[in-house]
Amino acid sequence: MDFKVDIVKLKVQDADKLLQLSKRTFFDAFAHQNSDDDMAAFAAQAYTLERITQELNNLKSAFYFILVDGEIAGYLKLNQGDAKTEFKDEYSLEVERIYILQDFQGKQLRKHLIEFAVNSAKDKGFDSIWLGVWEHNHGAIRFYERNGFTVFSSHKFMLGSDEQTDLLMRKNI
Q: What's the one-letter identity of residue 84?
A: K
Q: In Å, how far are 3, 6, 43, 62, 91 from 22, measured between CA atoms?
A: 23, 19, 9, 14, 28
Of 64, 75, 99, 144, catalytic:
144
- CB count, 10 Å around CB of 143? 16
What does the radius of gyration of the chain's CA atoms come to, in whole angstroms?
A: 15
Given a contact cutoff of 8 angstroms between Cβ atoms, the answer to whether 156 and 163 are in contact is yes
3-state DSSP percent of the chain in helix, strand and coil, to 5 = 40, 35, 25
Distances (CA, A) of 110 to 100, 104, 113: 7, 10, 5
Residue pair 95/131 in contact (Cβ under 8 Å)? The answer is yes
144 annotated active-site: yes
Residue type, 110: R
The secondary structure of residue 133, as a DSSP letter, is E
Q: Which residues are catalytic?
A: 144
